[in-house]
Chain A
Amino acid sequence: MKTARRIPLLKKMLSQFGIEEDRVRLDWVSASEGDRFATIINQMTEQIRQLGPFSSNGGGEHG
């Protein structure tokens, strides 16, 4: 249950850093839900791919 409180606080903080909310996702998957696990990971991968590589200076020079 600590994670359920930590992640929203982390997300609020990351938004202050200008980091897209979609880069962090919290979900709950049981060990018996293999398909669901694969679906979530695929969704997340696709989501991140669309956002592109992260750079703290927005992709400019001298990261």
Chain B
Amino acid sequence: MAKPKMALYWAAACGGCDVDVLDTNEKILDIANLVDIVFWPIALDFKYHHVEAMEDKGIDLCLFNGAIRSTEQAEIAKLLRNKSKVMVAFGACACFGGIPALANFTDREEIFERVYHEAPSNNNEKGTVPLLKTSVPEGELELPELFDTVLTLPQVVDVEYFVPGCPPPVDLILKLVDLYARGQLPPVGSVIASDKTCCDECDRVKEEKKISRFYRPHEIITDPKKCLLEQGIICCGPATRGGCGMRCVKANMPCRGCFGPPPGVVDQGAKLVSALASIYQGNTDGDVKRMLEEVVDPAGTFYRFGMADSMLKRKRLQKSRGSVRNAKD
């Protein structure tokens, strides 16, 4: 029997998810024994036209990492969707927008202004900016268009499974491939992770959730055995799905929310506002003011990985600026 065909793709991402697949170390050989990899831009020299030439649903499993923020990424997402039987949103960016979706606090015009004009490291006296079309003697060159709004993969195409994480832990990749190989994939729409929160899975000592002051990580030396939140560190564990193996917390870093909201939570950031403000001690106007100063960047902290997937999805665009692209159109 022919081996199942697997494709991997990166859209708006850092490449960490691809490296992560290689982090399976010698197990990558098991994966290679189980499946034929037919498309993987970071590692193999297949081109888009190779994918276009495949028959529809000819790919059995597609691990798609990265958010969607350009016409090229949306196009390849749709192409791979058509060619794949099972589409997996792989990693925090594909699932929730991830770090790239923090760009939803700005828009294309502001980004171009910053990157091509304002940035101190620039030397762009002519004020050159990327154009969608440029005429050169050889003909017309075309570039993909950047969206105002970074989108999640499921906002662009239908997705069967979600593997969250920045990047997903190796054991979840192996679990996915193993479930696939044994034909035991869970119901469509499942998240391949835990159904508990990070807090539920954290083995730090938890006593009473009361905070008299929020600290930023550089302002305090924490006790490695005690709950970070109880020590005043903003930890997203209460409103983040578990299954990550507590990599950050074990390294004395607070949870930053890369596994997205746990089951039953619609908006991760709103849940964190509720959770953190609830346990803050002090009821006077002065206390509340102090709390607001201590939480320096609530939106960026609570939606660090989930901006595109949140209820608001982005900072409000001004009318004068271009309209939001709707990649499903």
Residues of A within 8 Å of B273, CB to CB, are: 6, 9-10, 13
Tell me the interface secondary structure of chain A in the complex. loop
Contact between B317 and A56, CB atoms less than 8 A apart: yes
Q: How many pairs, one residue from A and one from B, have CB atoms within 8 Å of each other in the complex?
A: 87
- Collect the chain A residues with CB atoms within 8 Å of residue B312's CB: 17, 19, 56
Q: Kindly provide the distance from the CB of B304 to the nearest chain A CB, expressed in whole angstroms.
A: 13
* A1 within 8 Å of B (CB atoms): yes
Q: Which B residues between 278 and 329 are near A, CB-CB below 8 angstroms?
A: 278, 280, 283, 287-288, 291-292, 295, 297-300, 302, 312-319, 321-326, 329
Shortest Cβ distance from B299 into chain A, in angstroms? 4
Count the B residues whose beta carbon is within 8 Å of the partner chain — how many?
37
Interface footprint category on A? 20 to 34
**Residue B269 is within 8 A (CB to CB) of chain A in the complex:** yes
Question: CA–CA, A2 to B149, complex, Å?
Answer: 34
B280 touches A12 (CB 8 A): no
Taking a contact as CB atoms closer than 8 A, the residue among A12, A17, A55 that contacts B315 in the complex is: A17
- Contacts A6-B278, A10-B273 known; A60 to B298 CB distance under 8 Å? no
Asked if A62 CB lies within 8 Å of chain B CBs, one says yes
Query: Does the CB pair B280–A5 fall under 8 Å?
Result: yes
In contact, A58 and B321 (Cβ under 8 angstroms): yes
**A residues at B contact (CB < 8 Å):** 1-2, 4-6, 8-10, 12-13, 16-19, 55-63
Q: What are 13 inter-chain pairs, A to B, with CB distance below 8 A?
A: A4-B283, A5-B277, A5-B278, A6-B278, A9-B298, A13-B299, A16-B299, A56-B314, A58-B316, A58-B319, A60-B319, A62-B326, A63-B324
